[in-house]
Amino acid sequence: MAKVKLENVTKRFPGGSVAVDSINLEIENREFLVLVGPSGCGKSTTLRLIAGLETGTQGDVIIADRVVTNVAPRDRDIAMVFQNYALYPHMSVYRNMSFGLMLRHFGGLLGDGVIGRGLRKIFQPRKAANDGRIISEIDEKVRQTAGRLGIEHLLDRKPHQLSGGERQRVALGRAIVRNPAAFLFDEPLSNLDAKLRQQLRIELKRLHRELNATMIYVTHDQVEAMTLGSRVAVMNEGKILQVGPPLEIYRQPSSLFVAKFIGSLPINLCQGKLVRIENGFRFEGDFSMDWQTEGGFENWPSKQPVTLGIRPEDIRLTETGPLKGKVSDLEQLGESTTIHCELVGSNDESIKSGADSNLVVRVDSDRIFRVGQIVHLELDQNRVIWFDPGTGKNILKE
Ligand code: ATP
């Protein structure tokens, strides 16, 4: 397994669109790195540049300390798993899984690339003892991998006789038998239903542990990114905005974009300014609230606008909390309930009259609320994230 490095990699497609913009990224040996971002941000192009399926406009791709920028995909020692499985429809599962290895060892037999004719030759019993040994090694690898993925009973079937989840396992199996330096996954689970996706996510994590492999995984689904990655790289408009462990990205996003993109419920954002008070500061805006700490704002100009961010689970609904809200909507999800609260100005000086701020709060599902109910809200002050509304940057993150 190997370290993968991108040095200043740019891809400009004909016509001028820059899909990947000067990316620098180091994926450690045996790491599971997830590239996540909205549609069109350049994730797949980045992966294809690593695989060698696209040629970069500038920069270098380095795999296992070898510059492979001008090396053909088949010589990069990587295996790629796609969303659409890309299985050979006319071959059995067994052949789909063994084909790459057979090709590597007996490629010469394929003649002019006429796969059908070549395969007939390959699968004929061969006399040479060495060939026999290789064939039985390949056979063992295929059967062992099929066992690991729970598809050993499907080896004789063709892809059209498989479910989506089974096909994706075959595609995974085909990559695993090759024992590559790195695995590249391009949205491999997005054709599957939610339950199967969750099951395969767990299997992928287990495989990663067992194979001790370097894995790079592309998705637009932030839940996949959070649950799979040992590190997550958030991309937008061809650039990597932040790289870090999932929880760090969630708790300390470097920008408003990252804060909004990560999180299954959107982060609450309120506009205001910071005013210095004795022993601390006050947020004055959609509502007002005091912090009894300097909190890193020693150098922040008083009264300069800020955006306050708070995640829905970091707001508590209490009997006497400092903010008052009216329940405007409820979503009961079973494991929790999402409450949409309109901050109400009347009878509460902390809330600016006419404030149009809504706060979304996540509460235990056994607490019963109704639309129209007046509730009190308390923010976990340590969990508030501060952004500069001008630059969109997290003010307290260097
Ligand atoms: P998605 O999640 O929708 O697959 P993505 O983040 O993987 O998106 P890419 O497929 O890498 O995005 O595309 C990045 C940008 O490059 C997009 O604006 C896309 O339109 C453009 N692009 C991709 N392939 C080509 C191409 N062959 N020719 C021209 N532009 C392209």
Say if ligand 1 is within 6 A of residue 55 CB.
Answer: no
Question: Phi-psi region for residue 221, left (φ > 0), alpha (ψ -120 to 50) or beta?
Answer: beta
Say if ligand 1 is within 6 A of residue 220 CB.
Answer: yes
Say if ligand 1 is within 6 A of residue 180 CB.
Answer: no
Average pLDDT of the residues in 105-125: 50
**Gap from CA of 236 to ligand 1 centroid (Å):** 12
Say if ligand 1 is within 6 A of residue 268 CB.
Answer: no
Q: What is the pLDDT of residue 117?
A: 47
pLDDT band at 235 (very low <50, low <70, confident <90, very high): very high
Q: What is the pLDDT of residue 122?
A: 53
209 vs 145: CA distance, rounded Å: 15
List Cβ neighbours of 52 (8 Å cut-off, separation of 6 or more): 61, 68, 71, 72, 73, 76, 78
- Residues of the chain with pLDDT > 90, as a percent, come to 59
Can you read off the two tokens belonging to residue 204?
Answer: 């992928």
The residue that leads in pLDDT, 101 or 170, is 170
CA 328 to chain centre: 32
Q: What is the pLDDT of residue 110?
A: 43
What are the angstrom distances between the C-alpha of 146 and each of 135, 137, 141, 150, 262? 16, 14, 8, 6, 35
pLDDT band at 352 (very low <50, low <70, confident <90, very high): low
State pLDDT tens for residues 295-351: 788 888 888 899 999 999 999 998 887 888 999 999 999 989 999 999 886 455 666
Is residue 116's pLDDT more than 80? no
Q: What is the mean pLDDT of the chain?
A: 88
Of 13, 10, 12, 6, nearest in space to 22 by CA: 10
State pLDDT tens for residues 38-62: 999 999 999 999 999 999 999 999 9
Q: Whose CA is nearest to atom 29 of ligand 1?
A: 13
Which of 45, 53, 82, 216 should be mutated for ligand 1, with most atoms under 8 A from CB?
Answer: 45
Q: Of the given ranges (3-17, 94-108, 318-332, 341-355), which has the lowest mean pLDDT?
A: 341-355
Whether 213 and 27 have beta carbons less than 8 Å apart is answered as no
Average pLDDT of the residues in 359-386: 93
Q: Whose CA is nearest to atom 9 of ligand 1?
A: 42
Is residue 113's pLDDT more than 50? no
Say if ligand 1 is within 6 A of residue 124 CB.
Answer: no
- Residues of the chain with pLDDT > 70, as a percent, come to 90
Q: What is the pLDDT of residue 190?
A: 83
Cβ neighbours around 255 below 10 Å, total: 19
Average pLDDT of the residues in 201-209: 89
Say if ligand 1 is within 6 A of residue 17 CB.
Answer: yes
Q: What is the pLDDT of residue 104?
A: 77
